[in-house]
Structure 1
Amino acid sequence: MRLLSLEQASARDWDVVIAGSSFSAMFFAHGLPDHLNILFVEKGQDYSHADQIAHGWAVREKIEQRNSSGAHKEWVAFTLFGGNSNYWWGNTPRLHPDDFILKSKFGIGEDWPITYDDLEPFWIQAEEMIEVCGGQSDHILPRSAPFPYPPHAPSRSDIALREDSPLWVPLPSATSNGGSRARCCANGVCRICPVDAKFTILNGFERLEHPGAHYLLGTEVRTVDIEGGQARAVQVKTADGAEARLRGNTIALGTNGIFNAAILLRSGIKNKALGAYLHEQGEVDIILDTAKIKAFYGGASETGHGYHFYHDIDRSEAGAVLIETVNAPVSIRREQGKWANRLHLRLTVDDIPMAENRVLLEDDEPVIEWVGYTDYAMRGLRRAIDGLPDIIPDTIEDLIVDEKIRTQAHIQGTHRMGPSAESSVVDDRLRLHGVPNLFVLGSGAFPTCSPANPSLTISALSLRASEVVT
């Protein structure tokens, strides 16, 4: 890694200046032509895997929030080299084709300006680089190539469920089951993987690094200078207060939906969608006790997906739900002879983004206004919970729902993509409307929600965006 001081970074012009160093930033840079000189500006420092295990959550951001929903809500972001890639859970499903056409198919939300087929070749690239393990090529979602590696071993409950319905499938995962990293230990402590089996920017750096890349750490991008419809430079500030102007022919913001929006707001960008439509999936945990089906012994912490309330489901009145089968950490029964007769399921629901959920600036810093999830999401969860007895091939002896809607740590929607500045912030290649050399990367560009985890799609969108830079 070629590290620079602030003085060295500001002494020259750059082909590309990129804010951030997580999925969106690094995959965007990877796709750029080799001859370009690139400067990454990262607010955090470079912590080794060992440092992260020792210090845990010490680099978590504190983001001010005004929450009027009546329910607890967290927004999770980490400031260090590699960002949230260091702390994600490693689930890598694709979005469903229906996620891209909610308006035209179901009359709700917005259509994306791209389709599933537009993104498919870039998902393939990202899956290869991340070394995703996922199994069969005839997955419910269309694929032009098989997963790079086989799925993790199913749990006993996965085996029973898959024998009953093809809508139960292996969960695509970035925790290794072959490839360059250690095999997953399946201990359920995935936030900081103890054996480094989960893909991160750190352990994937050798494959991801661009030959022209340089790095400025401990420095925050505050604003973008825009003149004559072109981004000319970024204004930056170090932790000790030093400031500088870094010039670039192309500028890319790859922090997250909260900080990308804050940078653009500070920069004087006027757009009614900027900062608005903040959203993420809702999640509830289900404990389901069965008469015969036994759980455990799967090869990863989460081993299966159920598409019963996501694939070919009516989404006009209620959200779609993706089911995850959880293998670890374990939850056991106390009845003699039935300690393993328990399924732990996680239900993840999409929602319709609302303009009232937003990021704004106060004293030049981002503040979240959160009014909560919509009834659309709640109806989706209720449909799935009520429908569980119909899709479990066993007698259910008890069903416990954790009513708390948990955070997914997915910051989405504050600079949504679309056809024009009338209703969106960026175009289909993630360029700010009216400023073609300013890219605003990441899941803040998602115009609608999906039950599927966003990290793989973030990476694919960045690879697609990088194609237009020469």
Structure 2
Amino acid sequence: MTNSSATAGETADVLIVGAGPSGATAARLLAESGYNVTCLEQGDWVNRADYPSDKRERDVLLAGPWSANPNVRSWKTDYPIDVKDSEVHPINFNAVGGSSIYFGGEWPRFVPSDFRTKSWHGVADDWPISYDDLEPYYTLMDEMIGVSGVPGDPAYPGVLEPPMPGVPIGRLGRKAAEGMNKLGWHWWPATQAIVTRSHGDRGACARWGTCMSGCPEGAKSSMDVALWPGAIAAGAQVITRARVREITIDSAGLANGATWFDEDGNEQHTSASVVIVCGNGVGTPRLLQMSTSSRFPNGLANSSGLVGRNLMMHPFVGVLGIYDQPFDSWLGPFGAAIYSLQFVETDRSRGFSRGAKWSAQPITGPMELLERYGERPLGERTGAAGMGLVERAVGRSFEWGASIEDLPDPENRVVLSDEMFDSSGLPAPKLIYRMSEDSLQNLQFNIDRMTEAHVASGAIETKVVDWMPAVGWHMLGTARCGDDPSSSVVDGYGRSHDVPNLLVLDGSVFVTSSSLNPTSTITAFAARAVMNLMETAADQKVPT
């Protein structure tokens, strides 16, 4: 697909900034309901034939021009990120579909306690909404994008029934489950944003195991294939290579559009009655902070001073297990074959708050294995020594990975860099992020438990894999939702307390991070918010 024929001078009913999961959700639902929708996306369409996943030089491409790290990839459509004061570095992808191009496809829902950490466990703050509020929208999005899994996970209330049969857990999943059963710990086949039945030009999962470098089959429900074709068919327009400089406001303090640069560097403006920002937990606060005026000198929608604060990034650690039997551990999905919520809830006796979600992940090739030995001297992981590692472990190993709940801290934040700028001269976002002592204890607890799980499954060798700092794939909390304008940026429907026709619908709105992958909750929140926007349209304030 190419750029839309939309022009900069048109006025949209709704202008969306960002074509990732939340932007795609909003565009699809609004366009199918008859709204005139324009989306500005800094990136471009990516042809899945270009993905590195099925290329012989895949690992070389992923180390450079197709890296998930924008500071390494450095495409014209990227913006740099100042990470000199951050212990975790963001991974994001600017494109139609956003970072779902490179996400693993894991699609768990948050658990009920994630929305009530203050009330139930005395930790952090409660969301202004509950699991029950989002439940019908979780189900809606499962149907819309194509989700597969096994019904009946006891970790959730009611009976979750994914619309498609699950991807096989394979020998890897059975081996991981063997140890969990011995220990009496929860596990379940992972719910995936992956189709297991062919649909249109999307093939059913062929188990490439390359989910995190783009699915060449089209089976993974990245939003460019899962939502945008339907949105465009319904009339939504996407302007790609559009770098937004600021959200503009009128004399009454209402958002009236956005000023942006086209790919030739020309300044454009698109007008709209409602503006929705979907730039992720780093891009959104950056844009709001750049959008200053006499009315909003500290950034748009920032009367609370919380835009950019409470950044949460899901610290991650893995334990590799090597076994003395083959189980085809290069087969996907990647993501997870099975996952565990055994340690997801708060247990104060552990010495820290909240918990972790585990994923049993394949080791899909020699480079993935050797990456886990990156701290060793070069001579111990190349040549004959490197080949020895590969022969011993590839096909006979997998990794238990733990994503821990990252609690909000106002000192962990996104600000505008005064040292780095993008190619348009706009300030790069700067991250200031430190892991808490609580997080460090949480990580160590899960290292010990994952090692125990491998031993119970019969591993002959285990190795801790500390992924810091290269795990910033979930960026959350920097424009949090809440009922009190003094302690939140938007309300429970993503609507700005300060600017009533401005919405934020990406992971920035999260009050807490959970330890579960956030994309299903991001899209469910966006769907609920957009439904409310349409239901209350008659009362919506718009610029004159």
**TM-score when normalising by structure 2:** 0.78
Greater helix share, structure number: 2
CA distance in 2, matches of 1:92, 1:451: 13
Within 5 A, what are the aligned runs for 1:263-342?
263-268=287-292, 269=300, 270=302, 271-289=304-322, 296=329, 300-301=333-334, 302-311=336-345, 313-314=347-348, 317-329=352-364, 342=397
CA distance in 1, matches of 2:112, 2:326: 32
Kept in 2: contact 1:34–1:212 (CA 8 A): no
User: What's the offset of the Cα at 1:202?
Assistant: 2.5
User: 1:403 is matched with which residue?
Assistant: 466
- The CA RMSD measured in Å over matched residues stands at 2.9
User: 1:65 is matched with which residue?
Assistant: 82
CA distance in 1, matches of 2:121, 2:249: 39
- Which letter maps to 2:338? G
CA distance in 1, matches of 2:457, 2:266: 64
- Which letter maps to 2:195? S
User: 2:537 is matched with which residue?
Assistant: none
**Alignment equivalent of 2:221, drawn from 193, 196, 199:** 199
User: What's the offset of the Cα at 1:92?
Assistant: 0.9
User: Any gaps of 5 or more consecutive residues in structure 2?
Assistant: 56-64, 68-72, 293-299, 371-387, 419-425, 535-544
- Which letter maps to 1:283? F
**Alignment equivalent of 2:29, drawn from 28, 31, 34:** 31
CA distance in 2, matches of 1:182, 1:411: 30
User: What's the offset of the Cα at 1:412?
Assistant: 1.1
CA distance in 2, matches of 1:404, 1:365: 28
CA distance in 1, matches of 2:144, 2:118: 33
CA distance in 1, matches of 2:261, 2:233: 25
User: 1:49 is matched with which residue?
Assistant: 48
Within 5 A, what are the aligned runs for 1:46-445?
46-53=45-52, 56-57=66-67, 59=75, 61-68=78-85, 71=87, 73-143=88-158, 145-162=160-177, 164=181, 165=184, 167-180=186-199, 181-190=202-211, 191-204=213-226, 205-209=228-232, 211-227=234-250, 228-268=252-292, 269=300, 270=302, 271-289=304-322, 296=329, 300-301=333-334, 302-311=336-345, 313-314=347-348, 317-329=352-364, 342-362=397-417, 364-388=426-450, 391=453, 393-394=456-457, 397-405=460-468, 406-445=470-509
User: What's the offset of the Cα at 1:324?
Assistant: 0.7
CA distance in 1, matches of 2:49, 2:450: 41
User: What's the offset of the Cα at 1:340?
Assistant: 6.0
CA distance in 2, matches of 1:399, 1:37: 55
CA distance in 2, matches of 1:335, 1:445: 43
User: What's the offset of the Cα at 1:383?
Assistant: 1.5
CA distance in 2, matches of 1:210, 1:338: 47
Kept in 2: contact 1:186–1:328 (CA 8 A): no
User: What's the offset of the Cα at 1:89?
Assistant: 1.5
CA distance in 2, matches of 1:391, 1:197: 31
Kept in 2: contact 1:225–1:234 (CA 8 A): yes
DSSP-derived class of the 1:308 partner: coil
User: What's the offset of the Cα at 1:67?
Assistant: 3.0
Deviations 1:242-298 (A, max 9, x none): 223321111111122222112211223233110111121111121124578967386
Distance 1:396 1:89, change over 3 A: closer
Deviations 1:94-130 (A, max 9, x none): 1121111111112111111111111111111111122
Deviations 1:376-433 (A, max 9, x none): 1111111122233655534554321013424141121111111122111111101111
CA distance in 2, matches of 1:146, 1:160: 25
235-244 or 338-347, larger mean C-alpha shift: 338-347
Q: What is the number of equivalent residue pairs in this alignment?
A: 466
User: What's the offset of the Cα at 1:142?
Assistant: 2.4
- Which letter maps to 2:500? P
User: What's the offset of the Cα at 1:27?
Assistant: 0.1
**TM-score when normalising by structure 1:** 0.89
DSSP-derived class of the 1:260 partner: helix
CA distance in 1, matches of 2:393, 2:506: 45
CA distance in 1, matches of 2:50, 2:461: 42
43-52 or 15-24, larger mean C-alpha shift: 43-52
CA distance in 1, matches of 2:364, 2:330: 11
- Which letter maps to 1:214? Q
